[in-house]
Structure formats: C-alpha cells, structure tokens
C-alpha cells in the first residue's frame, strides 16, 4: 500500500542510519533527504522504519517526545508510506534490517540507500534493487 506522492522517477528506501545521519550530522544523508523534500526523488518509508527512527532518537540520543514527533511528521509529509504485507528473512544477524528490504520490494524502489556496512551493503542487490551507500547515491543521482 502506498499513501504518499508519486511523481519523481527515482524511488528510494533509506535505511534508518541514513535518517539518523541526516538529522544529526548532515552530509550526503541530509542531501538525500532534502532531495526527497524538494521532489527530486521519491523517498519510501514504512511504519516500522519510522518507529525505529523514533526509538533510536529517544534511547540513544535522549530526544524529547515532541522533538521526535516533529521529525517523524516531517518524514511522513515528504515520503510515501509503504505498508509491506509480507516479511522477509534475508538478514539473520539483525532481523530489523529486513524491514528495509520489505519496504523496498513492496514500494518497487529503484534503490536502497544504507550506511550499514555489516548487514545491508554486503547484499549489494535485493530482488533486483541495488544497495548503495549515501555517498554512492549522492554522486550518481543528486544535482
């Protein structure tokens, strides 16, 4: 199910670590999220990814609930929310990473962007969807 805008030609699922990097540190991750806000690319997100972002901001960075709510609402406003009906079990070491793959497959993403060098990047491709680092994606697709 897709409940967001559909127009840009490049559809991308961002790993949670890309959102956290964009929010806290900037760089390529922030440039990618800004491209989504400006409609240059379409960012796909799932409720699970949103929950994971909220949990990390709260537990690891001690953000207040209102700060977290603002960030999550901002993402919801600019991304297409995908609700994957099926689960996959490709990544055994960190099962939460499978939610990224599910969102990409269900949303018919063109790319998965992840900074996870341990679990997601080594896959290189999931069901025909290439996995790129934020730097690789930025170099290839951002103006």
**72: closest CA among 19, 14, 111, 15?**
19
Q: What pLDDT score was predicted for residue 88?
A: 84
Region 85-99: mean pLDDT is: 82
Domains, the chain, ordered by start: 11-141 (3.40.50.1010)
Q: Is the pTM of this model over 0.75?
A: yes
| 4 pLDDT higher than 60 | no
At residue 7 the predicted structure's pLDDT band, cuts being 50, 70 and 90, is very low
CA separation for the pair 138, 140 (Å, rounded): 6
At residue 42 the predicted structure's pLDDT band, cuts being 50, 70 and 90, is very high
At residue 43 the predicted structure's pLDDT band, cuts being 50, 70 and 90, is very high
- Beta pairing class for 42-45 and 80-81: parallel
């Amino acid at each position: 199910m897709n409940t967001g805008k559909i127009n840009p030609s490049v559809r991308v699922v961002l790993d949670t670590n890309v959102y956290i990097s964009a929010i806290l540190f900037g760089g390529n991750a922030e440039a990618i999220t800004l491209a989504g806000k400006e409609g240059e690319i379409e960012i796909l997100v799932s409720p699970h990814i949103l929950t994971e972002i909220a949990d990390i901001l709260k537990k690891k960075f001690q953000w207040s609930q209102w700060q977290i709510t603002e960030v999550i609402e901002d993402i919801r406003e600019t991304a297409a929310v995908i609700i994957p009906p099926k689960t996959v079990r490709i990544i055994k070491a960190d099962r939460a990473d499978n939610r990224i793959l599910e969102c990409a497959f269900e949303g018919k993403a063109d790319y998965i962007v992840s900074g996870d060098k341990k679990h997601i990047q080594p896959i290189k491709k999931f069901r025909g969807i290439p996995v790129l680092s934020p730097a690789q994606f930025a170099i290839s697709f951002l103006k």
